[in-house]
Structure 1
């Protein structure tokens, strides 16, 4: 099944097959077996589907989402202080990315709440650069 993957990105066909299986109630193990994908990928897609439905699986990684500081902090506290599972946090806060939650938790443990503040992206305008 080498045609399934192009680099590290699965084709739209494989993602559509995953959505069809998930909509019929397949679990992540059955999904991995049926499509010949890693169990971790199937688990991630199943969680994303539970949070964001069809679009969360089909459009995963197509755009960068920026989440407000308050949402990130609330998600981290639910995970670390309230003992919620990653899936529970994803569903409660509507975050389709498991990796985002794990990254925020790691950053919070290492550097505290200020690590969750959104930083400007891209190239600084010339007048703001140090030379």
Structure 2
């Protein structure tokens, strides 16, 4: 997956919000994916420029369930839920949904990373 600078993201978002160009045209100009531009605009509209910055987060089981319940109760798309809850990648929400549906709530619990100690 390509990584784009905050500057590129902000320029693409501003170009769209100026209302002159389409997602497709902007994506071509900045050499990014069209769906990336859609995601950036959505995140920016919900949370401002901070949503476009890199961040590393571990989400609790409760937070993950809040997101999944939001989808179920409102009928929101995965992409919309990711934007509302400021989750950088809709794929993260899709993964949570799949884990919950196939393995239950225990699959949403954080797992220890790294090699087990002896």
TM-score range, shorter chain: 0.7 to 0.9
Q: Residue 108 of structure 1 is aligned with which of 96, 100, 107? A: 100
Deviation at 1:88, TM superposition (A): 3.9
For structure 1, which segment, 109-118 or 8-17, has the greater mean C-alpha deviation from structure 2 after superposition?
8-17
Distance 2:66 2:80 in 1: 13
Paired position in structure 2 for 1:117: 109
* Structure index of larger Rg: 1
Q: Secondary structure at the match of 1:121?
A: coil
C-alpha deviations, 1:69-118, integer Å up to 9, x for none?
11101211222454222344235434343222122112112211111111
Unaligned runs of 5+ in 1: 1-6
- 1:71 lines up with 2:66 in the alignment: no
1:1-131 paired onto structure 2 within 5 Å? 8-21=2-15, 24=18, 28-29=23-24, 31-57=26-52, 59-60=53-54, 63-80=55-72, 82-124=74-116, 126=117, 129=118
Distance 1:36 1:106 in 2: 31
TM-score by length of 2: 0.73
What number of residue pairs does the alignment pair up? 117
Distance 2:38 2:114 in 1: 32
Deviation at 1:23, TM superposition (A): 5.3
Q: Secondary structure at the match of 1:105?
A: helix
Unaligned runs of 5+ in 2: none
RMSD: 2.8
C-alpha deviations, 1:28-85, integer Å up to 9, x for none?
445324423221211221222233321222x23xx32111111101211222454222
TM-score by length of 1: 0.67
